[in-house]
Amino acid sequence: MSLVKPHGSDVLLPLLLEGEALAAEQARAQGLKKVLISSRESGDLIMLGIGGFTPLTGFMGKDDWQSVCTNMTLSNGLFWPIPITLSTSADVADTITLGEDVALVDSETGEVMGTMTVSEKYSIDKSLECQEVFRTTDPAHPGVKMVMEQGDVNLGGAVKVLSQGEFPTKYAGIYMTPAETRKLFEEKGWKTIAAFQTRNPMHRSHEYLAKIAVEICDGVLIHSLLGALKPGDIPADVRQEAIGVLIDKYFKKDTVVQSGYPLDMRYAGPREALLHALFRQNYGCSHLIVGRDHAGVGDYYGPFDAQHIFDELQKDALITQPLKIDWTFWCNACGGMASTKTCPHEEHNHVKVSGTKLRKALSEDEEVPENFSRPEVLEVLRKYYAGIAKEDRAKVELKGHSAK
């Protein structure tokens, strides 16, 4: 038995140029028309570059966009749950002719991230995309806001990727490509690997989920989002430090790998859980841990909608499968972590832990109970909050499942 195959392909299909080809394309890009891309688009482009979005060859055209929104498949029938698109203003689109090559420039850093052969220019129904992907058109939803604010014209076409941005240097030793994680798993002799998706520092409930997976699989990939988040979420470098001390102190050696990937968070709940499983397949993972409110925000999704959506897929849509785990909590009567499947005690004994509750307590300088988070983790997080003036801290509201 070997690692799971990449999605829709026998091999990874990275689009990142190297060596002489890279130098030549970088030089050529200087003479091309420039199209600014957002942080989200830049992250998507890097994922195309490193093979994380195998087998895509670029940003989606209209048929693929439509099919992904309404059917969760590309127009050729291959499973894909969220559109991977690039947009620009109508004014910029009007200056581009079909078949023309353009340079894709990160709007925040000014770096030329790639080139694209524009094969399509098309407008989309943004409300349709939001309703299908996010299950809402509420502009207060951060994913909806992102889509509604993007340009009015989408550009579709094949890309050549020239850079991985700051990720390899800023997160050296943490950031890995799918080829690198696959090589590492093979060196360790792991065949079954569960990915643990996180955009938060790991609290006791997260730790418990990962340890359940360690019992079931050969190893666990603690795989953090390294791209942009919403205000109030804890930055990736702080999160990595907090996760690192947890692994060092509370996990058996060589049972987990800490790593990160370059995407921005979309907060698409169930659909994003499917995307998380799909690209973890490309990273070599056989399973994805799916707990309560995976990739959710506020109360837009039911606590286990991200688990139920996997039941709607055709049998062969994904090789990587969900590890579905129920509500987990500290039980005072049990004297330890438990879940609704294992704990016989009444709810008043349960301390339900969430990343939102933890962030709220820390941002307001409140005491955090010992059964909420490990002391070494709290030390890292308190140090981070101590460096932010109280009036500058984003207000953290308890909504939906996180408030329970």
> What would you measure as the largest C-alpha separation in the chain, in angstroms?
68
Give me the pLDDT at residue 226, please. 95
Q: Which residues share a beta bridge with 105? A: 36, 112
Neighbours of 131 (CB within 10 A): 14
E strand spans, 1-152: 33-37, 58-59, 86-88, 101-106, 112-122
- Burial (Cβ within 10 Å: 0-12, 13-18, ≥19) of residue 389: exposed
Would you say 142 and 230 are in contact if contact means Cβ atoms under 8 Å apart?
A: yes
Segment 263-296, tens digit of pLDDT: 999 999 999 999 999 999 999 999 999 998 899 9
Give me the pLDDT at residue 355, please. 74
pLDDT for 403 beyond 90: no
Give me the pLDDT at residue 400, please. 53
Active-site residues, by number, are 199-200
User: What are the distances in angstroms from CA 160 to CA 14, 109, 156?
Assistant: 9, 19, 13
User: Which of 75, 73, 41 shows the shortest CA–CA distance to 58?
Assistant: 41
User: In this structure, what are the phi and psi dihedrals at residue 231, rounded to the nearest 5 degrees?
Assistant: -55, 140
Q: Which helix (H) or strand (E) holds 360?
A: helix 355-363
Give me the pLDDT at residue 363, please. 86
Give me the pLDDT at residue 312, please. 96
Sheet holding 219-225, edge to edge: 256-261, 219-225, 193-198, 287-290, 321-324
Q: Is the pTM of this model over 0.85?
A: yes
User: Which of 355, 378, 351 shows the shortest CA–CA distance to 365?
Assistant: 378
Residue in the block written with tokens 């983790």:
377
Give me the pLDDT at residue 404, please. 58
Bond into 55 cis (ω within 30):
yes
Give me the pLDDT at residue 185, please. 98
- Burial (Cβ within 10 Å: 0-12, 13-18, ≥19) of residue 367: exposed
- Our separate counts of H helices and E strands in the chain read 14, 14
> What percentage of the chain has pLDDT greater than the value 70?
98
**Distance, CA of 202 to CA of 374 (rounded, Å):** 9
Segment 339-398, tens digit of pLDDT: 999 999 999 999 988 777 888 888 888 888 888 899 999 999 999 998 888 877 777 666
**Distance, CA of 162 to CA of 361 (rounded, Å):** 42
Residue 254 CA neighbour count, 13 Å, CB half: 6
Segment 5-50, tens digit of pLDDT: 999 999 999 999 999 999 999 999 999 999 999 999 999 999 999 9
- Burial (Cβ within 10 Å: 0-12, 13-18, ≥19) of residue 188: middle
Residue 108 CA neighbour count, 13 Å, CB half: 10
**3 state SS of 35:** strand
Would you say 300 and 399 are in contact if contact means Cβ atoms under 8 Å apart?
A: no
User: In this structure, what are the phi and psi dihedrals at residue 150, rounded to the nearest 5 degrees?
Assistant: -75, 170
